[in-house]
Chain A
Amino acid sequence: MQRATIDLWVGIFVVAGIVAILFLALKVGNLGGYDSSETYAVKASFDNIGGLKARAPVKSAGVVVGRVAEIGFDPKTYEATVTLSLNTHYPFPKDTSASIMTSGLLGEQYIALDAGGSEKMLANGDALKITQGAVVLENLIGQFLYNKSDSAAEKGNAAE
């Protein structure tokens, strides 16, 4: 029967295709290991988020504990409001502080959480009080150049 062998080959083909998709999902993609089911949302306002993107990692002590869920703009305070979804396995105290960091000199930006000492823990929907925005490299360079020219001018004055 020729149809039986065709069926076998088609079966092998379909199984191989599904295995390839699973391989892509589990080994190449981030479907394995990262469970999106149990998270709690925490809000934080920053004066400047720099190049932070949605889905950027939230790290504490260098370990990924959550992701940036949403980035918005508050037209009343003119600040960026960032919603973090943190894994429920990692509860944080209420006075935890958040700051935006850069991994490496030119790497992607992430949010670093520093745990505080409060007895109460953050719950779903809470807001972080202490935040520090991204360091804008251009401002830093600008400040540095400004100081440099200032001190150069002073030196010049002293020499005269």
Chain B
Amino acid sequence: MMDTLLESVRGIGRRTVDRVWRMGVAAHFFLLVLLHSGTSFRRFHLIVREIFTAGVLSLIIILVSGLFVGMVLGLQGYETLQTYGSEEALGVLVSLSLVRELGPVVAALLFASRAGSAITAEIGLMKATEQIAAMEMMAVDPIARVIAPRFWGAVISMPLLAALFSAMGVLGGYLVGVVLIGVDEGSFWSQMQAAVDFKEDILNGVIKSVVFGIAVTIIALFEGYDAPPTAEGVSRATTRTVVTSSLAILGLDFVLTAFMFRGV
């Protein structure tokens, strides 16, 4: 009885220490990636290839989901605004919710499950098949050759994907609101332009997506690099990437929103 109680308390302690330890290793890993960024920028074709795998291959899912999210916003927003007789404000509703929140957040969530999981699986498998150890044997630094290009490729792709998501969403809202339902086109755009500020809304959205990009990519890379070199280890690491980075995106979003839009 006493033993099991003691053991469970010990377990809590062990797990906590383990988490903090991993946190420290991840921070160390992040610093190493930043330190080795210089070398990877000198071989830019590596980064270009990673922009292709992380960014270009995510384009379809980002564009299509952006369009659908915008269309749903248009429909739902119209239903609600109509009861107050202010359906011209539909443009404001669609564009502000996309540019400030949904664009960066949903794009980052999709990016985490589309590109983040792929990064983790790839690096985990590279480690399991001892390709990373082989690189170290050949005196090639795997962080400079494999990790840093993936980091920068994904970090560069993220804000572009988020901007494309928002733009597609606004077009989707326009399609449903103006073309399908028949909200006045002039006031749709003019009210939107009067309400959306470049610095306050659009630039802050871009900053958000850059932060999310860094968080998702570093989590994905670290989980892959730290994965146990077994089939089960890689699969668990991939799951953890999606779960942890989704949580990180939503948590960071709250913090950033509290900083950016406190409604002065």
Binding site for B on A (CB under 8 A): 3, 6-7, 9-10, 12-14, 16-21, 23-25, 27-33, 53-55
Contacts and interface: CB of A to CB of B under 8 A. Distances in A.
Contacts of B264: 53-54
Given A10-B48, A16-B160, A28 B55 contact: no
B143 to A, nearest CB: 23
19 contacts: A6-B48, A10-B51, A13-B51, A13-B52, A13-B55, A13-B59, A17-B163, A20-B163, A24-B99, A24-B166, A24-B170, A25-B198, A28-B193, A29-B196, A29-B201, A29-B202, A30-B196, A30-B197, A54-B264
B198 A7 contact: no
Contact of A20 (B48, B164, B201): B164
A24 B166 CA distance: 8
A91 B189 CA distance: 29
B161 A9 contact: no
B206 interface: yes
B104 to A, nearest CB: 12
B99 A28 contact: yes
B160 A18 contact: yes
Contacts of B160: 13-14, 16-18, 20-21
B5 interface: no
B100 to A, nearest CB: 11
A3 B44 CA distance: 12
Interface residues of B, number: 31
B45 interface: yes
The 8 closest A-B pairs by CB, nearest first: A17-B160, A20-B167, A20-B163, A29-B198, A31-B198, A20-B164, A29-B196, A21-B163
Contacts of A55: 197
A137 B147 CA distance: 61
A27 B52 contact: no
Interface in B112-141: none
A6 B44 CA distance: 13
A2 to B, nearest CB: 10
Interface string B82-105: 000000000000010001000000
Contact of A24 (B49, B52, B163): B163
Contacts of A13: 51-52, 55-56, 59, 157, 160
B194 interface: yes
A72 to B, nearest CB: 13
A24 B48 contact: no
Most buried by A among B163, B194, B202: B163
B67 interface: no
A33 B194 CA distance: 11
A14 B164 CA distance: 10
A9 B192 contact: no
Interface string B37-70: 0000000010011011001100100000000000
A65 B209 CA distance: 34
Contact of B170 (A6, A17, A28, A32): A28
Nearest to B48: A10
A10 B99 contact: no
A18 to B, nearest CB: 7
Nearest to B45: A3
Nearest to A34: B193
B177 interface: no
A10 B170 contact: no
A55 B264 CA distance: 11
B52 A6 contact: yes
A30 B194 contact: yes
Nearest to A9: B56
